Amino acid sequence: MAKTAQQPVLVIMGVSGSGKSTVAGVLAGKLGWDLAEGDDLHPEANVAKMHSGQALTDEDRWPWLGIISDWITGHVEAGVPAIITCSALKKKYRDVLRAEGVVFVFLQGSKDKISDRLASRHGHFMPPSLLESQFDALEEPTEDENYISLCVSASPAEEADEVIERLGLHPVTGDAEAGAK
Ligand SMILES: Nc1ncnc2c1ncn2[C@@H]1O[C@H](COP(=O)(O)OP(=O)(O)OP(=O)(O)O)[C@@H](O)[C@H]1O
Ligand SMILES: O=C(O)[C@H](O)[C@@H](O)[C@H](O)[C@H](O)CO
């Protein structure tokens, strides 16, 4: 079971299309917490590379993970609870992000399910053709990591409520249900 610190930082992780941005947005609204979108922190060259249909390498990802890690550390040190999205596909990437109070929220879904979602998503730089490489890179979190995993079959509001309930968080609305409306 994941340990929840007084002022946690949640890293919403998973392959492209698993719903990280969507769930993080709903959660941040319900909790009233700071939110950052990991995609917005990529160096421009990374975005251009993905847009052109090429998967990122470890070398491409390190500088980006460094920026995300700094954002996390800033919040941990200031004692400000927060949510950030980051694919965090490999254990060695999560090792860079891990800090006191960090909880990984892994959005887990089948390739078919996520592929359907990507097929109906428009206007995003990440092409659906890269999904295969995302699953190839994925190393699911293991027991020694502070994480929970969520099956991505519920609505975004239900998924957010599940995170709130399982981590014992407190929505600003006073009631997880009320925030879903
Ligand atoms: N719980 C859900 N139920 C149904 N559709 C969802 C759900 N969560 C997200 N979606 C849809 O799936 C698509 C992918 O979601 P989203 O963009 O949030 O994923 P992501 O993991 O942030 O992707 P990326 O890493 O590529 O930015 C979007 O079109 C979104 O509207
Ligand atoms: O690690 C990676 O390959 C990248 O971070 C991708 O996962 C993208 O950032 C994102 O998912 C696309 O929208």
Q: Do residues 103 and 147 touch, judged by C-beta distance below 8 A?
A: yes
Residue 85 alpha carbon to ligand 2 centre in Å? 10
Burial class (CB in 10 A: 0-12, 13-18, 19+), 152: buried
Sign for the CA dihedral angle at 67, 170, 23, 106 comes to: positive
Instruction: Please determine, for residue 180, whether its predicted confidence score (pLDDT) is greater than 50.
Output: no
- Using a 6 Å cutoff on CB, does residue 69 contact ligand 2? no
Residue 8 alpha carbon to ligand 2 centre in Å? 23
Mean pLDDT within 80-91:
98
The question of ipTM being above 0.90 is answered as yes
Instruction: Please determine, for residue 153, whether its predicted confidence score (pLDDT) is greater than 50.
Output: yes
Q: What is the spatial distance between Cα 14 and Cα 11, in angstroms, rounded to a whole number?
A: 10
pLDDT of amino acid 181? 38
134 CA: nearest ligand 2 atom: 3
